[in-house]
Structure 1
Amino acid sequence: MQLNIFGQTFDYRNDRSELEAMFQKIFSMIDEADRQLSHLVIDGVEVYDDFETYVEERIDFIRTIDVVAVTIEQYIQDVLQTMHSYLMRALPEIERIIDEFYQTPSEDAWMRFEQMLEGIQWIDQALYWLTEHPKHSLDRQALARIRETLAEQLRQLLEAVEAGDAILIADLIQYEIKPLWKEMTEHVQTNVVN
């Protein structure tokens, strides 16, 4: 298989024993170029996470791996734009979840609630990366505060789930999560626009 990175091509055998060396090459070249890994394009398919597993599961058939690395500034903008887009799409969905949990939540409502929790986890990871990364001008203290608040609300939400209290879940989403969601949307929008 061919690895294409920064205009250079490296050949590797389609063998699991080659993977560690290949990924070391990718990460060392990205680090040396002071870039951030955005994603891999593997035989035309864009892969944004869990690269190693994706490659390992398809090792026998992969022909090309193109590495897409961007500047830290571009990566931050991409993260903020993705977060903003997600938050904007999620707000109406949160309203539906609240309404349904104040009644008797259906199986579909529970699935959408689960998706909301997955979104919260992704936001938490993004906020962690943004607060820990020194190469941007964002207000790290504000991001850290939002992340701490989100973690506390998530803890309360999980306690309500364990107790099976749909009304408490709806209250927490309505009065805790939703206002924080709106605050995050405004904070992110300010940084995406600027």
Structure 2
Amino acid sequence: MKLRIDEDLIVYETGNLKLNQLETDIHSYLKKGDLIIDSFLIDGVEIFEEPYQHIQNNLQKIQLVEVKCKRKEVFVRELIISLHEYVDRALPEIEELSEQFYKGFSNQSWDQVIQLVEGLVWINQTLVFIVGNGYLENEFSSVNLTTAISAFEDALGVQDFVLAGDVLQYEMIPLFQTIKSSIEMKVFGAENHEFN
């Protein structure tokens, strides 16, 4: 098996290779350059979840593991830009969904709810990662997304659609606005609210 990490190549004897050795080599490389894994390809196929489990399950068959890395600050900046773009696009959708809860709920509304919940999970994980790695101040952790998510799920659980609309209108939208404006002010500067 071969391991390519960016431009470095390590060749292992397949019969003696242990997953632990591969993981150690990858983590050592990442630590040297303050890097983070950007993508993980196994025999040319990008693996998005549990790459080490995939390797363990197919250790004897895999020919090439490719790990593409990015400098952590570049990765985080791109993540913050993605977060801002998502929040900016989601705000009008949340406002519309809130109105749908007040006017009458449809099957199309459920599709939007599912997309919203998936987005909320991603936002929450993203904020935890960004703040946890010290790239933004702790004020982002005070954006209590978890409480708003829980209140929204509770309202849906008892099919109180007016309450669900209220949670979106009076908790989610202000939280999204806070996230958006905080990113604009702290990261991109008060004078530059447009970024590419």
Q: Is the shorter-chain TM-score for this pair beyond 0.5, marking a shared fold?
A: yes
Say if 2:182 is the partner of 1:187.
yes
SS at 1:69 equivalent: strand
1:175 is matched with which residue? 170
Tell me the CA shift for residue 106 of structure 1.
1.9
1:78 is matched with which residue? 78
1:31 is matched with which residue? 31
1:145 is matched with which residue? 142
SS at 1:118 equivalent: helix
SS at 1:145 equivalent: coil
Say if 2:126 is the partner of 1:126.
yes
- The answer as to whether partners of 2:37 and 2:68 remain within 8 angstroms in 1 is yes
Q: Distance in 1 between matches of 2:65 and 2:186?
A: 32
Q: Distance in 2 between matches of 1:109 and 1:57?
A: 40
- The answer as to whether partners of 1:80 and 1:191 remain within 8 angstroms in 2 is no
2:159 is matched with which residue? 164
Please list, as runs of the form range in 1=range in 2, the aligned pairs for 1:78-117 lying within 5 A after superposition. 78-117=78-117
The percentage of aligned residue pairs carrying the same residue is 26
Greater mean deviation of Cα atoms: 165-174 or 79-88: 79-88
2:51 is matched with which residue? 51
Tell me the CA shift for residue 46 of structure 1.
4.3
2:193 is matched with which residue? none
TM-score, normalised with respect to structure 2: 0.80
Q: How many residues align?
A: 188
Q: Distance in 1 between matches of 2:60 and 2:101?
A: 47
- The answer as to whether partners of 2:6 and 2:66 remain within 8 angstroms in 1 is no
Letter of the 1:145 counterpart: S
Letter of the 1:108 counterpart: Q
What do residues 90-126 of structure 1 show as CA deviations (whole Å, max 9, x unaligned)? 2232123212222332223112212211211111111
Q: Distance in 2 between matches of 1:93 and 1:59?
A: 45
Q: Aligned-residue CA RMSD in angstroms?
A: 2.7
What do residues 9-36 of structure 1 show as CA deviations (whole Å, max 9, x unaligned)? 1235789x74443233212321233212
Tell me the CA shift for residue 175 of structure 1.
1.2
Q: Which has the larger radius of gyration?
A: 2
Q: Counting helix residues as a fraction of each chain, which structure ranks higher?
A: 1
Ranges in structure 2 where 5+ consecutive residues have no aligned partner: 190-196
Ranges in structure 1 where 5+ consecutive residues have no aligned partner: none
Tell me the CA shift for residue 165 of structure 1.
0.7
Flag the 1:145–1:35 CA change in 2: closer, same or farther, 3 A: same
Tell me the CA shift for residue 178 of structure 1.
0.8
